[in-house]
Structure 1
Amino acid sequence: MRTRLTQRIHARLEAWFPEKRLFLRSDEETRFIRLKSETQLVAWAGVSIIVAWTIVATAILLMDSIGAGNFRAQAQRDQLLYEQRLNALSEERDLRAGEALAAQQRFSTALDQISMMQTELLRTEERRRELGAALDTVQTTLRDTMQEREAARAELASIADATNGQGSVAQTSEVTNDTLDLLATALADTAAERDQIASDAAFALDHAAELELELRLLEEKNDQIFRQLEEAMLVSVEPLEKMFRNAGLNPDSLISSVRRGYSGTGGPLTPLQFSTNGGEPDPDASRANRIIDRMDEINLYRIAAERAPFDIPVKANFRYTSGFGPRWGRMHSGTDFAGPVGTPIYSTADGVVTHAGWSSGYGRLIKIQHDFGIETRYAHLNAIRVSVGERVSRGERIGDMGNSGRSTGPHLHYEVRVGGNAVNPMIYIRAGQDVF
């Protein structure tokens, strides 16, 4: 059975590949090589495979070349878009900085105006107190004068009765004239003093009305200034709170932590004290103190922002090559920024260097410990410019981009870890770009 099947296959092959003989002749003898159908089939299959492989490889190279060109063009477009966004963010940051500076200047001006108003209020209060004391004195003097006049009348009546019963007419007339002259003089002085007191009282009342109008105008102006300051504080604090919340941080706990580290008191942010003469708390003082508290809160937010990694580690041109998350079946714990070797790398927040050296797959690695349990890592560096134990500031250059460790090209592998767990660094970077 096998023989017949073999014969049939051979016959079919003979039809496609007939047997050939290749003669090789020399000076002494002639040889030939017989090429069977099976041999020709194997040779043809081998040649076909080589040709097919050549065609496929050429096509792959062409497709890869075309794809690489498209990728480079897309990378250039992405770089252009990112540069435009960086420019827009820089302009917005400058605008925010200008607004913050203007708000601070307005606040300083408002504090000066509040101080002037406080002085004016104290002066007005002193005037009122003096006018009240003057009115009390006038009333007391007028009352004493009226009593003296009544006493003089009673004394005149008693003298008249006594002279009628005891002395002569001449003596009585003389005494009476003297007494009347004395009384007339006293009454004239009393009337003049009364008129002067009445005039002073009328002037005091008119001046008090003017002071009351002036005080009301000052209160309205003061209220307008306070409203502007309160709106400025609200506009300044809300973006900072949003930045921390977008990064997954609790603003209240961060502010409490910073306040414990900066617990000194005194200076321009000391609460204001207004004289109330033992009455209810002054509403202007309460509003001013609330604004001062908001200013203190903004300052604490600024300190906290310097201690959390809201900055970007690469300032020069770069492109994102790999983000946070699973990659090739493994967890990629950071974000990759690709650029030329030697590109400056900057610290994204204030902190202390805890590692500066070689670390297996990371290559040259820098670890910085920040407040709030946050750590940042900068891997695959070409050069390290800090040492262990050194305290660095936000925006300080700490190394150069490189290709050390397990890396396929020059780039920075940047990580953010909170409590030892890796989190997406872009959460902090995007949150910071919305404010700074």
Structure 2
Amino acid sequence: MSDWTRLEQLNGGDPITYSAPLLDTPEEVWFCSADFELRIWHDGTLERHVPEALPLAGTVQQRVTLYNRLRGLFVDVEQRADRLLVRRGVLNGKRIAMQQPASELDALRARYAALGFLEVTPWHASSNHVTKRQYVKDAGTLAIKGWRVSVDGTTVIDDQGKSPANDRQAAVTLAEERIAAQEAAGFTLHLIELMKADFPNPLPPMQGSAVAGALDALLAQAEPDNPFDAVDAAVALLKALHARLPQVMFIAECLDDDTKETRIEDLGEEAEFFLSMHEQRIGRWNDLSPEPPREEESSWAYFARVYESITWIVGSPADEDLPTFYCGNVSGGGWSCMEIDSEGTYDINDLMASTDNDELEHLFVFHGGWHEDRSWAFDQRAASPAGDEAIVPFDESMTELPPETPIDEIVPFGNWLHQQVVTLGKTMARNARDLNL
């Protein structure tokens, strides 16, 4: 819990909004006053919005933009002649603006790089995220007007539509010309937000992410020789992801007694409820090692005997493009991209009763997400000579069985699991790189 007295002291003794700071480090703290205005305390100085800082005369000669996407924060700098207009704030939310001498630009860059902000281009934060700037005129009046602009690939997008350019630099130049015209008409920058891109964008210059690079190497390893090794390799990858990305994910089966509450609550879950709901799964892998498979044991039977379950919980915005759902279809059960339980995750009897179709008893649902069309089941009508049953997509809206899988097309569970973990892991690694983790 935050130290409210400390935050009030940082705010000069004035009241604050009783919510966790947006950024909280020994050097700098971002929080909100009682009237929901952003405050930034830095090395003993309290910084607040300075309305008279706007507008700054002249055209923009240089833009510098940094993001802390994990916290949804930005620093946006415009250089005009020998002055900087520095805006800092929450993406699509509150912000403060101040003027500073242009000579302080390098110091600003270093200050926020040290706080985990990543300098990208002013017009896109990653190959699939573009910056949208919203300008307003006559703010605070009934006559307020708005105008938005972004550069996506080689196209300028604003309220008038899409304007393709010959190349990206030409698009940026066109966007800056339109901004200058809007500023001359009395518009000022009001909001900055990140949007999913519609067109290809170049990868912006980024700091190297050692974590993402290490994960790329792990995820690029050759597929194991047999389904049993594939199960062990998938679990090893999940353990590596759990260890290397504590800010944005965890595997419930890897949680330890010392850090479990912190890791759960850091992802926005309520620890007491989560631990109670998943009591049997918490930390169950911590003392486990791979074992030799037993005679005539399928890779699913091996997984069920040795590992029993997988509960992969992810946090925003690292969950982007992952097939997420609530574990157990319960808010508080964890925002997951993979939930596997050897005892099953869904009572097929309920679906049989509601559809009056007893043939659905052939399905054994082993994966969560059945309420979001993101679940998987074994079709027990067909099995390979090794005992592997067909894996089919499942959703509780199903009313009849899918076509039966030919035996020679059945993928062993171990191979399926390894492929799923690698695919999801690559998305996590990409998101980690975008978040500068």
TM-score, structure 2 normalization: 0.23
| Greater Cα radius of gyration, structure 1 or 2 | 1
Q: Give the structure with the larger helix fraction.
A: 1
Q: Which has the higher strand share?
A: 2
